[in-house]
Amino acid sequence: MIFASAQVLLLLAFSLVILVLAVWALVDALRRPASAFAAAGKQTKQIWSIILGVATVVAFIAVPPPLGIGAFPLFLALLSAVAAIVYLVDVRPAIGPHSGRRGGGGPSRGGW
């Protein structure tokens, strides 16, 4: 019985990590300018927003009980993770130099 509850907790933690990853990728994509996607030679901002929006919804619905409804099987949540990881590892670094954002996230105030 202890192994069953450990498996449930592990599945729940895994699903929540996928959800957080998908939300992070979606928020990052929405904050980037559309021109950065074209300048980097990637798919448009609209396409990535749709992909990551669907991935976030699927990841949210796939969270198992007691925190979620678990309506989708875990492999669909894994597809959500793949979409988010592709964005974060491939697209985000490519559009970074074209987005006009600095590493600190805010405007430069001078100094060293």
Give 63-98 pLDDT, tens digit per residue: 888 777 777 788 888 999 999 999 999 999 999 888
pLDDT bin (cut points 50, 70, 90) of residue 106 is very low
**Does the residue 6 lie in any domain?**
yes
**Does the residue 106 lie in any domain?**
no
Q: What is the 3-state secondary structure (H, E, C) of the chain?
A: CHHHHHHHHHHHHHHHHHHHHHHHHHHHHHHCCHHHHHHCCCCCHHHHHHHHHHHHHHHHHCCCCCCCCCCCCHHHHHHHHHHHHHHHHHHHHHHHHHCCCCCCCCCCCCCC
What total number of domains does the chain contain? 1
**Does the residue 46 lie in any domain?**
yes
Give 26-35 pLDDT, tens digit per residue: 999 999 999 9
**Does the residue 84 lie in any domain?**
yes
